[in-house]
Structure 1
Amino acid sequence: MPQTFNIYGDESCHIENDHNKVMVHGVVWCPAKISKKIGRDIRDLKLKHGLKSDFEIKWTKVSKSKVEFYLELVDYFFRNDALRFRGVIVPDKSKLDHERFGSEHNEFYYKMFFYVLRNIIKNDNKYRVYLDIKDTLGREKLDVLKDCLQNANYDYNRSAIERIQHIRSHEVEQLQLADLFIGALSYVHRGLSSNEGKMELIERIKWHSGKSLSRSTFPSETKFNVFVWEAN
């Protein structure tokens, strides 16, 4: 029976010349019918750990003092069969030769979201895509992304994607969870290890997923799917 899914997407270090060579795009997705319940569950977790219900989950906020909350949040994600994650990592943006391929960086940005979404969308289901609002991603560019997905040679029908729109991350817990996971992937691929709380969280993700986070998973991996994109 067809289902409707909500997909929540974010990215890290997408700006071309930001002195950070790693770029990560990622999405958390779940059935639309239980999306609100998942949000309530996560807000309850915040309250359980002495945080305000509107506390914004962010990778940059992970520290030893809050690590127990973040560890339990990761446990919740992996225990909940309805929640899934997919991330695409570009390990070194400096190797991107946009001119050679008749492209430019903003266009490549959409290609990365396309790579994230193409393994998720199936013709017999419906999808609502929500991306964190960015100054670099206007409404017209969201329409381009939707057209790219609909016109791709993957047999998507034009009714599978009901909408693609902006939302603000502080309003939606699933989007905050996406920020957390792409932050963890970025930390691994940048070779960082100085933050004890972040390293503890990364080890918990590795333990649950059984994955190194440094290499691509099998395309068939559905719970925590990682694709490391390499330039030709």
Structure 2
Amino acid sequence: MESIINIYCDESCHLPCDGQKAMVLGALWCFKSEAAEHNQAIAELKVKHHLSPFFEIKWSKISPSKVGFYRELVDYFFASPTMGFRAWVIPDKSVLNHQQHNQTHDDWYYKMYFYLLRNLIFTGRKYHIYPDIKDTRSRLKLQKLQLVLRNANYDFSREIIEKIQHVRSHDIALMQLADVLIGAVAYHARGLSNSNAKIEIIEQIKNKTGLSLNRNTLPTEQKFNLCIWRPSSGGFENA
């Protein structure tokens, strides 16, 4: 069985003063050996819907004229048996008190990334993790995240987490698919309803998963795993 798994990571509204209440981190995973096939299938969907090969797939670009394409994209994700998604939802950033915990917002951000990824990593497999690049200071923080993940998995010989490398989302279709799923979870978490096309995609995800998107899934859920982080109630909402 294929042993290397690619994990593509991104987030929505991670900055502390961006005017948005909720924040979502997300990770899309698939077998490395199938990544090219998935990227090609997404490229073919673009052709089918008369989109440019250079069209960047983003949650923010969902509109009535393109909702058919995005519906087929989401269908493709759910029809792929060896592809999965996990989202880590922070419903209200205003409750954070970094000073009390002797940390910066960046420190906390990478802690959340650790919690997002730790349930996706198992001994006996190898992982290549690709977060979307954010700023020029990200490299050192990425090294710290890599160290923490390796220590948590006793991966001192670097045989489990082989690689953590920043990439740019506009270069990788699977990263763009992650953006769409993260965007759907974040839009729902913020209680927004100003786009019928986006609501249609959210309802599609609810129908495919049987989830309300308001509650945690079981930690073992592989296809669409959801965790809602609530520090004021002991850390996590009950499933």
TM range (shorter): over 0.9
Q: 1:22-41 maps to which residues of 2 (within 5 A)?
A: 22-41=22-41
Q: Is the Cα contact below 8 Å between 1:10 and 1:178 reproduced in 2? A: yes
3-state SS, counterpart of residue 21 of structure 1: coil
Q: 1:136 to 1:202 in 2, by over 3 A?
A: farther
Q: Which runs of 5+ in 2 are unaligned?
A: 233-239
Q: 1:124-135 maps to which residues of 2 (within 5 A)?
A: 124-135=124-135
TM-score by length of structure 2 reads 0.93
Shift of 1:103: 1.4
* In the alignment, structure 1 residue 166 sits paired with structure 2 residue 166: yes
1:143-177: CA deviations, max 9, x gaps? 0000111112x555532111111111111011001
* In the alignment, structure 1 residue 89 sits paired with structure 2 residue 89: yes
| Paired positions, count | 231
Distance of 1:214 and 1:173 partners within structure 2: 28
Shift of 1:136: 6.3
Q: Which runs of 5+ in 1 are unaligned?
A: none
The residue aligned with 2:65 is 65
The residue aligned with 2:225 is 225
Amino acid at match of 2:178: A
Distance of 1:210 and 1:156 partners within structure 2: 36
Shift of 1:54: 2.1
The share of aligned pairs that are identical, in percent, is 49
Cα root mean square deviation, aligned: 1.2
Distance of 1:126 and 1:220 partners within structure 2: 19
3-state SS, counterpart of residue 167 of structure 1: coil
* In the alignment, structure 1 residue 52 sits paired with structure 2 residue 52: yes
1:45-66: CA deviations, max 9, x gaps? 0110010122111000011110
Distance of 1:206 and 1:141 partners within structure 2: 34
In the TM superposition, structure 1's runs of 4+ consecutive aligned residues that sit over 3 Å from their partners are 154-158
Amino acid at match of 2:111: K
TM-score by length of structure 1 reads 0.96
Shift of 1:210: 1.0
3-state SS, counterpart of residue 182 of structure 1: helix
1:108-160: CA deviations, max 9, x gaps? 110111111100000110000001110165211110000111112x5555321
* In the alignment, structure 1 residue 203 sits paired with structure 2 residue 203: yes
154-163 or 219-228: bigger deviation: 154-163
The residue aligned with 1:101 is 101
Distance of 2:197 and 2:155 partners within structure 1: 41
